[in-house]
Structure 1
Amino acid sequence: MIEHKWYQGHKILEVRPKGKFAAEDFHQLASQVDPVIREQGRIEGLLIDAQDFAGWENFVAMITHFRFVHEHQKHIQKIAVVSDNPLLSFMPRLVCHFISAEVRPFAVNEYSQALEWLDNPG
């Protein structure tokens, strides 16, 4: 399951995984995100609260996740990843080669700084 919450009139989206990802999670998230992208052209910021990231249910879920990222990343200006997991804090350096958004890691205790960074233009 992926919980989500919008900030500032659909300018910033927060997503929070709960348990292992299922393929259906990304179909449901797309039904919430796609209309906003069609209306606004893009999402200024995405906050990924990855404190409870537990992986994927199966290979299909993982592939669906990668497709979702591939299809939506070009519509997102900045991505903040909030986690104390060392692997996830390294992720921005890895994914910057594959996506157009600016990606930055934040520790769990820097949650408010992550939102502030997403809210600032540039």
Structure 2
Amino acid sequence: MIEHHFDESHAILHVQPKGSLEEADFEALAGEVDPFIADGGELAGLIVETPGFPGWSSVASMIAHLRFVRDHHRHIRKVAVVTDSPLGNLAEHVASHFVAAEIKPFPAGEVEAARLWILGDGE
């Protein structure tokens, strides 16, 4: 399950995985951002705030996740991974080979620093 909030005024999608990722989670995320992208918008950033990777509930949910990344990564400028898990550093080094966005890890609790970085007001 993914809780999310889309700050349309700043074009930032904030996601918080709370349990195994479901196929419906990615349908909900796409439903939130696709109209914005279709109107010519690009996402300034994506904040992924999580204590660790919760895994997928099924193979179908993994495929939905990969499809979401494939369909949206060129429309997102920056990805901030807010976590104390090694996931943050792994995402920065591995995912950067597969996605167009700039990726940066932030320590848990540093959501505001991540938001400022996305907006260009941070490091």
Q: Tell me the TM-score normalized by structure 1.
A: 0.90
Q: Which amino acid aligns with 1:16?
A: Q
Q: Find the aligned partners of 1:82 and 1:48 in 2 and give their Cα distance.
A: 6
Output the aligned Cα RMSD.
1.6
SS at the partner of 1:99? Answer: coil
**Structure 1 unpaired stretches of 5+:** none
Moved over 3 A (4+): none
Q: Tell me the TM-score normalized by structure 2.
A: 0.89
**Structure 2 unpaired stretches of 5+:** none
Q: Are 1:110 and 2:110 matched, yes or no?
A: yes
Q: Find the aligned partners of 1:15 and 1:109 in 2 and give their Cα distance.
A: 14
Please say if residues 18 and 52 of structure 1, whose CA atoms lie closer than 8 Å, have aligned partners that are also in contact: no
* Residues 26-105 of structure 1: pairs in structure 2 closer than 5 A: 26-51=26-51, 53-105=53-105
More strand by share: 1
Q: How many residues align?
A: 121
Question: CA shift at 1:74, angstroms?
Answer: 0.3
Q: Find the aligned partners of 2:52 and 2:18 in 1 and give their Cα distance.
A: 6
Q: Find the aligned partners of 1:10 and 1:106 in 2 and give their Cα distance.
A: 19
State, as a whole percentage, how many aligned pairs show the same letter: 41
